[in-house]
Structures are given as C-alpha cells and as structure tokens.
Amino acid sequence: MCVLLGSTVLPLGDGMAQVIRSGPPSCKAVALTFDMCPVREGAGYDASLIAMLMERRIPATFFLSGRWIATHETQVKILLSVPFFEIGTHGQVHAHLPALDMDHQRAEISRPVTMLEKRFDRRGLLFRPPYGEYDDTTVEVAGTLGLRFILWNVVSGDPDPRLSPERMLEDLKTRLRGGSIVVFHANGKGLHTRAVVEDLSQELLKRGLQPVTVTALLDRCNVSSDHAPLPGNH
C-alpha cells in the first residue's frame, strides 16, 4: 500500500508549512485525490479510471512520485492536458521520509518538483508524503520549498484486495463530509477504484457535494460550471 491508514498532525513551529487534512467543513465539496506511487510490475496507470474521470468531467488531484514521472511521460502529458485535473508531487522514490536527514529529505521532496518544471514546464505546488509519514523536518522542508502539505481525512482502502467495491463505497459514504479529502490510487493498484469513484461521484451529487481539486477546496470552495461532473445513468 502507498499510504498509512492514519497519521498524527504534528505541532508546527514558526515558518513551517501547515499540514492539511481537509478543507473547511462548511464547504459543499469534496476533493478526490489519487496517488501515483511507483510500481514494480504492471502499467502503473489506471487508464480506465482516468478515462472515466475525463468523460464524466470529474475534477481530481494527482500526486506523482518522481520515479513514476520518469517512466510515464505520455501519461503525465495526458494528466496535465485536462483543465479540471491538478498535479502535485509524492516524493522521488517513495521513501520513508522520517528515516532521512534534512538534506536527503529535501532531495526526495524537491526532485519531482524540479522534474515537472524542466520536462513539462509545470510547477507542482502540492506535496503529499509517501505513506503519509512525516516529521518536523518534512514539514519544514516542504514549507521552504513553497509547497502545500496535503494529507487526507478519508482513506478509500482501494489497494486492499480484501475489500469489495460495495464495502469500500459503504465505508466512504459513512465517513465523507463537506470539505473531505479522500485518498485513492491511480497507478493500477486499486482493484475497484474506477467503479467506486464512479458510484461515489453520484452519491456526492445526491448530497449536494461537488467533486473539486484540492486547491479549489482550500482556496475557492466552488465549482466551475464548465467542469461540473456529468450525471450518470443510474
């Protein structure tokens, strides 16, 4: 799995980035986020999921690891071409950051940011630590690099082969609230991610909640009518 089921928010000192787990609870929106962790086997890209998000015009935020970026240039270009998608970074090699000193943490966090700038002329302003692990140094480095430190408050559990799509969806329905940030995966390790996200997008609309990018959730808390998701047939 790419993420932990939970993490503790550390006290922040002066000049350190804010660790963000959700948007304002008054916001009638939810951010659907997808980690792109490096994979040893398989395509590393859930084409069916991405196609559904594009077809249904569902806004989404993707956190790309540097190793994933290096082996998926075509797919990165696809994600960057969609106006209602947003790109952040997820470390270089998906390392356990608290085990590293400051210099190594800085290298691990900054390399995918630099790669996006040099190869794709795009600045990634959002950062999610691998496994959801971090310490004071991680938060400080992210702050000095000008990155928003994004965690989550709802875990989908999509890499777990023991979870059925029905169980995943019921758990998500129970835990979702306005302002939630949900973590999924789009690297092919989520066995039922496409089906769950498609059904969940309809559930959100029934509750009067709109899927949005993380930045929209935090800064504007509104939805552009041009990119509102299309209603489904069920």
Residue 77 lies in a domain: yes
Counts of helices then strands in the chain (DSSP H, E)? 8, 9
Q: Is the pLDDT reported for residue 228 higher than 50? A: no
Side-chain-side CA neighbours of 170 within 13 Å: the count stands at 5
pLDDT on residue 209: 95
Cβ atoms of 205 and 231 within 8 Å: the answer is yes
Number of domains comprising the chain = 1
Domain membership of residue 21 (yes or no) is: no
Residue 8 lies in a domain: no
Neighbours of 55 (CB within 10 A): 11
- SS3 (DSSP) at 150: strand
Structural domain containing residue 159: 27-223
Instruction: Indicate the average pLDDT of the chain.
Output: 89
Report whether pLDDT(212) > 80: yes
Can you read off the two tokens belonging to residue 219?
A: 């800064």
Domain presence at residue 233: no
CB-CB contact of 16 with 148 (8 Å) = no
In a domain, 202, yes or no: yes
228 part of a folded domain: no
Note whether residue 217 is domain-resident.
yes
Tens of pLDDT, residues 111-169: 999 999 999 999 999 999 999 999 999 999 999 999 999 999 999 999 999 999 999 99
9 within a domain of the structure (yes/no): no
* Model confidence pTM above 0.75: yes
CA distance 19 to 136: 10
- CATH number for the domain that contains residue 68: 3.20.20.370
Query: Encoding tokens for residue 217?
Result: 């959730």
